Amino acid sequence: MRPTLHWRILGAGTLGFLLLLATTGSGTAADPPPQKGPARNPGRPRRGALTDKEMAMAKIAWKYFENNTNAKTGLANAVDAYPSTTMWDTASYLAGLVCAHQLGIITKNEFDRRISSILKTFNEMAFFRDELPNKAYNTDAAQKVDYANKPGEIGYSAIDLGRLLIWFKIIKERYPEHGNGIDSFVSRWHFCNIVDTCGSMYGAILDDKKNVQYLQEGRLGYEEYSAKGFQLWGFSTERASKPDPYDIAEIYGIEIPYDRRDPRTLKAHNYVVGESYILDGLELDWDEASDQKSDDQTHTNAWMADFAQRVYQVQENRYKATGIITARTEHQLDGPPYFVYDTIYSDGYPWNTITDEGAFVPEKAAVSLKAALGLWSLWNTEYTDLVFDATSNLYDPAKGFYEGRYEKTGGVINTFTANNNGIILESLLHKVQGKLLKFNGKESMWDRLITDEFGDKNKCLPQHRQQCSRTVPR
């Protein structure tokens, strides 16, 4: 095995220093392995009714969706006043919708009206190549669009659709009266190319000649989180659900796992951010997708809980060493380049803030509000109390919560998004209810569909899949 490079940060007061090390760390016996068996709670989650302030925050976060849901299609804008959305952001709207009802912000009548509107659109919308939902849709017409919101199709994202499947499952279990509408939509999907028989996930893109290319999608954290969405619908994601291959970067005394696959050859960056670990904790309690009984003090997806704890602790340690309040994840911006991955570690560097093309933009580093509130709900500590105090008042009461606060200047990121406000609502409901996925034990239309051996074999549903025949590494 050829040596790989790690940056080791030795936190020594506010100075610290960087030491470049050559090492062969590769998620093997040389490094701490992921935990096996159920893990004890890595943090101390907050529990209890919302305070008056927290309830006011929930209402402000919901304001974003009041402003940005299209009455005709039921779809919500991913960014304030811009009529476009992705399936990831649509899942965040569905999350916000469930939370708003569960917290008593909206009535059951409004919930039903909104969910019925979007399900109608789902069951009528056109797919990418008649296969799966396109990466982006115009929210005014539910029309397939590119990232410039121009008519056309650009492929699909396995990561986005996995998150959508998680929220479909949460809604079906909490509101089974809407299960048939959800199942009708998902039963239109063709799963042959998105999850292969070996349990790897693939997204679709178009090349310069408009030919479809299917590329392995997802990196450590995001990949395994989204894979749980497919598992909840009966699919095996054996390879996508494994943490390997990963390496270790030691940062402020914490061994941080990161995806070892080389972004220079695979054209996909290995971002370590908080969002995927936070969402897995809020929605699934760091449990295996099949776990219907675990309490919130144990986590049956033990390595995920372990990695989440490390991602939390290194951010607290950075604050203790530097005084910089830290809650990092991907986030929107209010100007070019409009979106960054604000990482704990990426592409060989700690605290690396980069664009999706890998450009280094350290001035765009920020305290993300969705990350801040997620940490606050999942870890009841003095540090998250501080993070809450630094972020909980960053809102416009007429628009929702700002995206974040810049680390360098302290100014707010003057933009509002579905993902940010949806995750803030998730964090607040999690304080009240714990794990957001609650199972009801009732059989659904989908359950019957995937046990029907005479069903549509062209869609590669779970019961029609062959054994994995490949022996190549993940």
End-to-end CA distance of the chain: 17
Total residue length of the chain = 474
Cα 100–Cα 106–Cα 108 angle in degrees, nearest 5: 105
CATH architecture type of domain 4-434+446-461? Alpha/alpha barrel (1.50)
Q: Are 76 and 90 in contact (CB under 8 A)?
A: yes
Q: What is the pTM of this model?
A: 0.91
CA-to-CA dists, residue 316 to 219, 229, 252, 375, 379, angstroms: 24, 30, 10, 10, 11
Number of helices and strands (H, E) in the chain? Answer: 13, 20
Q: Which residues contact 456 (CB under 8 A, 6 or more apart)?
A: none
- What are the sequence ranges of the domains in the chain? 4-434+446-461
Residues of the chain with pLDDT under 70: 1-43, 263-268, 470-474
Interval 332-371: pLDDT, tens: 999 999 999 999 999 889 999 999 888 999 999 999 999 9
- Name the residue among 232, 170, 184, 222 with its Cα closest to residue 201: 222
Pairwise CA distance, residues 296 & 183, whole Å: 29
pLDDT at 457: 84
Interval 28-80: pLDDT, tens: 333 455 555 554 456 689 999 999 999 999 999 999 999 999 999 999 999 99
